[in-house]
Every structure is written in C-alpha cells, then in structure tokens.
Amino acid sequence: AQKVTQAQTEISVVEKEDVTLDCVYETRDTTYYLFWYKQPPSGELVFLIRRNSFDEQNEISGRYSWNFQKSTSSFNFTITASQVVDSAVYFCALSEGYTGANSKLTFGKGITLSVRP
C-alpha cells in the first residue's frame, strides 16, 4: 500500500527566510507520480508540481524548488525568500499510476506554513 509522510506539522518563519517542507513516500511500484498542492487560507487546493518516478532532476520555478531523491524516497519542497502569501497548508501526494484505477492520490497530512512579516 502506498503512504505519504509529512513529519512536520507546523512551520513558522519570518519573511525572506528559506524554508524546506519534507515529504517521504512509500510504494512498491516502480512507476509512480508525486505531487505538491497548496491550500491557502481561502481553502481551495492549488496544484504546484508533478514529478514521475523516472525523472530525478530537481526542478526550480521562481522561488520554488523541488528535490526528488529515490534513494531516500523523498520529494522535498523549498521556498526561497518566503513571503506572507506563501502562508498555507502544503500537501504532498502520491499516485501509483500503474493502471487507470490506480491514478488516485494518496495525500500526506499536510504542513501548515506560517510566514510572519
């Protein structure tokens, strides 16, 4: 069975600090997909990134970067120079994606990030 662990529950930083959100996953499949979603205080879920298990390249998008390491089953998310608008709950999710039916997501419990001015 697949599992996603986000051990950090709450993180508080001061604006402009860098912050890393950890995600560790478990799966027995060799083909899988990892996702990060953001849930701001307004409540909607916003897709941030998708990564497949065959692509271990790190990705950078503006102030956001992701570090995927299969050796440690981790897919960590770093926000550089954090801003107040980054305050949200961040979810890591896993899809085994082996068949259509298995494309459903397993979510971690989420990390609440508070960025203070």
Which residues are at the interface with other proteins (CB under 8 A)? Answer: 9, 31, 33, 35, 37, 43-45, 47, 50, 52, 91, 95, 97, 99-110
User: Which residue number, 15 or 87, has a Cβ lying nearer to other proteins?
Assistant: 87
Rg of the Cα trace of the chain? 14
User: Which residue number, 17 or 64, has a Cβ lying nearer to other proteins?
Assistant: 64
User: What is the rounded CA–CA span in Å between residue 94 and residue 24?
Assistant: 10
Phi, psi of 33, rounded to the nearest 5 degrees: -135, 140
Instruction: Tell me the closest approach of the beta carbon of residue 117 to other proteins, in angstroms.
Output: 26
Instruction: Tell me the closest approach of the beta carbon of residue 114 to other proteins, in angstroms.
Output: 15
User: What is the rounded CA–CA span in Å between residue 35 and residue 103?
Assistant: 12
User: Which residue number, 57 or 99, has a Cβ lying nearer to other proteins?
Assistant: 99
What residue type is 112 in one-letter code?
T
